[in-house]
Structure 1
Amino acid sequence: MAIPPPESTSRRSHEPETWALRVLGAAEAEASGALARRMRMHPTELSAMSHVAASDGHLGPRELSTRLGITPAAMTDVVDRLEAAGHLLRERDTSDRRRVRLVPTESASTQVRGQLRGLLDRLDAITADFTPAERDAIHRYLQAAAEAYHRFAEDD
């Protein structure tokens, strides 16, 4: 899918890179749906696993329910299904035994990496078309964009 050129309307008044990032987000959502189907998961379960994997073991069920916008009771059902399927473990936090943290299983991580290998290889190959300076600029832009998204989510 080509990225539409910016138009002069107020709807398209932002920078072309901003719109490219929005198109990338839509493509990523489409790929996530495909991954969920391939893994035989509900999209909410895959989204939960994505958040857990990105958290490096610092995410509990309550924080996850807030991120996904679902009730704690619904989150418990999601975590129960993921645990029963062998995708997720509940572990006691070593610094606060009252706290439960969620951790993906090694088999789930291996399965996801296997499913994503082709996509990640294609994305890695794209970088060959850029100079080290261009790659550095792209990296800085994506880091700053991710931070902007995080700030947007925290400003709720």
Structure 2
Amino acid sequence: MAIPPPQGTPRRVHQPETWALRALGAASAEASGALARRMRMHPTDLSAMSHIAASDGRLGPRELSSRLGITPAAMTDVVDRLEAAGHLLRERDTGDRRRVRLVPTESAATEVRGQLRGLLDRLDALTEEFTEGEREAIHRYLQAATEAYHRFATDDG
């Protein structure tokens, strides 16, 4: 949903690619909701698992609670649920034994891959419609857009 600018502010027209990326984000959120339903998970739990899977075992409960915008106590409940369901493991950080790292189980990764196989196959097939040069440009754009989203998420202003 586009947010209108304040009264008297000139309206900036964004590029079609920017709007397409926003639409992709909305479609991705819709797909995440469908995945959560199919896996019989709460959307917050699935979001937590997505962050954990993307972190390569470097994410702890405190960082995860910050990313999800929930309290550490609520995060403990999420982690307990995911651990009880066999979706993740708590492991001691080898560099700092006081620190706990959250790691997805292989069974959880296998289940997610199975649920997403059709979607990922369709996305892979889309790439065949583009030349190698176009694919490189798309890849660069998506990497830069991902970085812009990360900067927005971590920027205080």
TM-score scaled by structure 2?
A: 0.92
Tell me what 1:5 maps to: none
Tell me what 1:60 maps to: 60
| Runs of 4 or more consecutive aligned structure 1 residues displaced over 3 Å after TM superposition | none
SS of residue matched to 2:148:
helix
User: Percent identical across equivalent pairs?
Assistant: 86
Q: Considering only aligned residues, what root-mean-square deviation do their CA atoms show, in Å?
A: 1.0
**1:10 and 2:11 correspond:** yes
Alpha-carbon distance between aligned partners in 1 of 2:79 and 2:11, rounded to the nearest angstrom: 42
Length, aligned pairs only:
147
In the alignment, structure 2 segments of 5+ residues that lack a partner are 1-9
Tell me what 1:140 maps to: 140
What do the CA deviations read for 1:93-152 (whole angstroms, capped 9, x no partner)? 000000000000000000000000000000000000000000000000000000000000
Tell me what 2:101 maps to: 101
Whichever structure has more helix as a proportion of its residues is 1
What do the CA deviations read for 1:27-55 (whole angstroms, capped 9, x no partner)? 00000000000000000000000000000
In the alignment, structure 1 segments of 5+ residues that lack a partner are 1-8
Alpha-carbon distance between aligned partners in 1 of 2:42 and 2:11, rounded to the nearest angstrom: 37
Amino acid at match of 2:78: V
**Superposition deviation, residue 10 in structure 1:** 2.5
TM-score scaled by structure 1?
A: 0.93
